[in-house]
Amino acid sequence: MKQISESRVLFLGAGAMSESMIKGLLEARLIPAAQIIVCNRRNTARLQDLQQRYAVQVIQDKRTACREADMIVLAVKPFDVVAALQEIAPYLSAQQLIISVAAGISTAAIEACCAKSIPVIRAMPNTSSSVQASATALCAGRQATAEHLDLAQDLFAAIGISVLVEEEQMNAVTGLSGTGPAYFYYVTEALLAAGQACGLSAETSRVLLVQTLYGAARMLQETGKDPEELRLQVTSPNGTTMAGIAVLDQGDTRLLLKRAVQAATSRALEMGQQIENAFAQLQASGRSRNVIQ
């Protein structure tokens, strides 16, 4: 396969995740805009908007788009994966690489939908790709080689950090770091309201909170210390932090967060199973020739 900087990358699906990745890749200058192709289901206004803002190529004809691509980033909603893959399957070849970011969908399911032997990498980035700060986990399908994994890692390294995991762990990654930005935004929304309830303006609360979040992340990253140790450094005996954390403990916030990640992980598993069942029914009705193993 070509080096990543020479590859032509097709984004199938022009939604939030594709835009986050495209913006991050262009800002990282990993791939020139002319080598990025974007395809959508039917929203041409959205494609024009992406073309104007990022100077990427937009090609609505799937046959042409696929033939042009070395790598295909599958970024449609999980429930659109089967239809999207069946549409492009005739134009795919084993020389291409599919990188799927779809939550819950196994590499085996993608391979089966493609109806041919094709390398597949399953990835779970997050929307912080947009500012080159994604936390991405990757695993390889049966046809993907070490070279394919290296290519995918090169791609995701440009827009954040990436780690390799076993495929069995991908749903948990989805519940933790794929969904993760939303947990921090949720907490930030609540703290913003809290700052205002305590008499600060919305603007002052936002400036202070964003920097506090950024600073805490940098402390975790740069000191390598346990979060507990860093929390204890903030906590003076009988001081303000103790008073605040006591309220969080009374509400069993840790248990709620654990349940949130478990619910998101279970939902990823459930979506994957629903899609595999739907595909199996299609196959049984003779509308598909493949079997999910």
Ligand X SMILES: NC(=O)C1=CN([C@@H]2O[C@H](COP(=O)(O)OP(=O)(O)OC[C@H]3O[C@@H](n4cnc5c(N)ncnc54)[C@H](O)[C@@H]3O)[C@@H](O)[C@H]2O)C=CC1
Ligand Y SMILES: O=C(O)[C@@H]1CCC=N1
Binding-site annotation: residue ranges: 12-17, 75-78
- Measured CA to CA, the distance from residue 117 to residue 85 in angstroms comes to 13
Under rule CB under 6 A, which residues in 75-114 are in contact with ligand Y?
103
Binding track over 12-51 against ligand X, x by CB under 6 A:
xxxxxxx--------------------xxx-x--------
Q: Is position 193 an interface residue for ligand X (rule: CB under 6 A)?
A: no
Q: Could you say which of ligand Y, ligand X, none residue 32 binds, taking C-beta under 5 to 8 angstroms by partner kind?
A: none
Q: Is position 20 an interface residue for ligand Y (rule: CB under 6 A)?
A: no
Binding track over 175-194 against ligand Y, x by CB under 6 A:
---xx---------------
Look at residues 108, 86, 169, 101 and name the one whose alpha carbon lies nearest to residue 134.
101
**Shortest CB 266 distance to ligand Y, Å:** 12
Q: Which residues are annotated as a binding site for NADP(+)?
A: 12-17, 75-78
Q: Is position 13 an interface residue for ligand Y (rule: CB under 6 A)?
A: no
For 162, half-sphere exposure in the C-beta direction (CA atoms, 13 angstrom radius) is 22
Burial of 3 (0-12, 13-18, 19+ CB in 10 A): exposed
**Shortest CB 135 distance to ligand X, Å:** 11
- Measured CA to CA, the distance from residue 134 to residue 130 in angstroms comes to 8
Q: 203-211: which pairs have CB atoms within 8 A and are 24 or more residues apart?
A: none
DSSP state, residue 176: I
List Cβ neighbours of 258 (8 Å cut-off, separation of 6 or more). none
Binding track over 122-141 against ligand X, x by CB under 6 A:
--xxxx--------------
Residue (127 or 205) nearer to ligand Y, CB: 127
